[in-house]
Structure 1
Amino acid sequence: MPTIGLFIPCYVDQLFPKVGLATLDLLESLGQTVEFPAAQTCCGQPMANTGCVNDARPLARRFLEIFQPYDYVVAPSGSCVAMVRHHYEELLHGEPGFEELKAKTFELCEFLTDVLKIEKLPGRFPHRVGLHQSCHGLRELRLGSCSEVMGPQFSKVKQVLQMIEGIEFVPLTRPDECCGFGGTFAVSEEAVSCLMGEDRVADHEQAGAEVLTANDMSCLMHLDGIIRRQKKPIRVLHVAEILSGSAT
């Protein structure tokens, strides 16, 4: 049986541990052997995004060292997986095992559709749900189709969520627009970031969403902050929480 190395992003580990536990529960319920290497650290994305490449390189090497023994690496985060698959090239090019690491690292929903190829899931979630599709997931991992691109429309995240009985997706006006978080962008360009987030929340609200979900907790953290400050009647849940049955 292949063994999965569960990669939990640092902000999920520190602020949203329920998402990590939901991911573990989901994978184990599907018969997977999962290990959580306790030595794991940040993937280095915050440093790389702000141009501190030399500070990110030791973290990338540590990531490679820790996760190299596993058959797969799975994370409930499109942005962190995109860091490994697309941006470690600058940090780890030529390092032994790097190409294998890229090929076996997957975002959670991508792993369910492309590797496990699941066709059904148990559980029931009778709520009106707005799906936020994160930029990293769409434009780097190709987890879904972008509205500006001609061709068949698809979403791997929605494909998995549709397996849950009772879920109803609300129609958004801008289904693939950025939430405005962008990591340190939310700090350096706070006003723009907040306005973009308010636009996304308003879109979900006008569509009648009871629950706003996504496969990136960073986006949800940003949107949830806006929702709570504005006292909107919308609940925020990570996709893993819905899929694992830990959300009701």
Structure 2
Amino acid sequence: MRISLMSTCLVDVMTPDVARSTVLLLERLGHEVIFDRRQTCCGQMHTNTGYYTEAAPVVRTFVDTFEPQLDEVDAIVMPSGSCAGCVREQHQLVARHEGDAELEERAAAVAAKTYELSELLVDVLKVTDVGAYFPHKVTYHPTCHSMRVLKVGPRPLRLLRAVEGIEVVNLPESDTCCGFGGTFAVKNDATSDAMVTDKAANVVRSGAEFVVAGDASCLMNIGGKLHRNGDAPQAVHLAQILASTKENPFVPSETILGRAS
């Protein structure tokens, strides 16, 4: 298959290894990955905060970038449940809010080919064992958008449990929010900190070496709290684990916060 990568602006700026791991994984599985350098932001920060009018130009830029690819690629992949959720569920709402029926139709066409990484692997590529090797104990945090908007369900866990050498342990209160929520963490910092404090404590309680999720933003929040607390678990993206093999193993310094073990 020919797959277009939307790396997301946060991954591009803060955690580029997540994008590299996504490409490495898909190419190892025999697929061609293209990357359009015109891509910018999906507009999630604006839409989540209710600024639909301000989000409209961002949505239009996104559609202008990816719509021309629709006849040339089989799928658009985003290593982020929250950004994929924005494209699939919010872009059309923004266009409708602005009374732009043409943009709404175009956004729907792009959304129909857009997938979060675990969705692409399990639903489109029909694979759960990707040949990964990760001999560590991990616990999985289902991020809010992936769980409640995209409803990815057990797909990430199916992929993780097929990884050679891995031990997947339960995360207490796994379905609670980590407190990030983009601008929520800025506007409601005390509440956000209380939420991530609980989340980090549950990661420690799990006994895992790594906490894994499909969103780098949530992992930055959780990993940052773990780091400030001096706790041992590290934050790692699903793509980084799935890209790891015996021949090209994961390096702990490439975790979300770049902490060495």
Q: TM-score, normalized by length of structure 1?
A: 0.92
- Partners in 2 of 1:239 and 1:103 — Cα distance? 23
Task: Report the Cα offset of residue 92 of structure 1.
Answer: 3.0
Task: Report the Cα offset of residue 6 of structure 1.
Answer: 0.4
Residue 82, structure 1, aligned to residue 82, structure 2:
no
Aligned residue for 2:257?
A: none
Task: Report the Cα offset of residue 16 of structure 1.
Answer: 0.5
* Structure that is richer in helix per residue: 2
Residue 159, structure 1, aligned to residue 158, structure 2:
yes
Structure 1 gaps, min length 5: 145-154
**Aligned with residue 132 of structure 2, among 118, 123, 128:** 123
Contact 2:92 2:108 in 1 (8 A): no
Task: Report the Cα offset of residue 11 of structure 1.
Answer: 1.0
Task: Report the Cα offset of residue 224 of structure 1.
Answer: 1.1
Residue 247, structure 1, aligned to residue 250, structure 2:
yes
Amino acid in structure 2 at the alignment position of 1:173: P
Residue 114, structure 1, aligned to residue 109, structure 2:
no
Tell me the secondary structure at the aligned position of residue 169 of structure 1: strand
Amino acid in structure 1 at the alignment position of 2:134: F
Deviations 1:135-189 (A, max 9, x none): 1001110111xxxxxxxxxx11111111111111112221211101011000011
Amino acid in structure 2 at the alignment position of 1:163: A
Tell me the secondary structure at the aligned position of residue 112 of structure 2: helix
- Partners in 1 of 2:24 and 2:4 — Cα distance? 14
- Partners in 2 of 1:66 and 1:16 — Cα distance? 22
Deviations 1:38-91 (A, max 9, x none): 000011111122222122111111111111113311000000000010001122
Over the aligned positions, Cα root-mean-square deviation in angstroms equals 1.3
Tell me the secondary structure at the aligned position of residue 174 of structure 2: coil
For 1:1-248, list aligned pairs within 5 A: 2-68=1-67, 69-70=69-70, 71=73, 72-93=75-96, 94-95=101-102, 96-144=105-153, 155-245=154-244, 247-248=250-251
Tell me the secondary structure at the aligned position of residue 183 of structure 1: coil
Amino acid in structure 2 at the alignment position of 1:184: T
Tell me the secondary structure at the aligned position of residue 235 of structure 2: strand
Deviations 1:93-124 (A, max 9, x none): 43243322111100001100000011422132
Amino acid in structure 2 at the alignment position of 1:209: A
Identity %: 41
How many residue pairs were aligned?
237
Amino acid in structure 2 at the alignment position of 1:101: V
- Partners in 2 of 1:80 and 1:234 — Cα distance? 25
Tell me the secondary structure at the aligned position of residue 211 of structure 2: strand
Q: Does 95-104 or 130-139 show the bigger shift?
A: 95-104
Task: Report the Cα offset of residue 190 of structure 1.
Answer: 0.6
Q: Write out the 4+ residue segments of structure 1 that deviate beyond 6 Å after TM superposition.
A: none
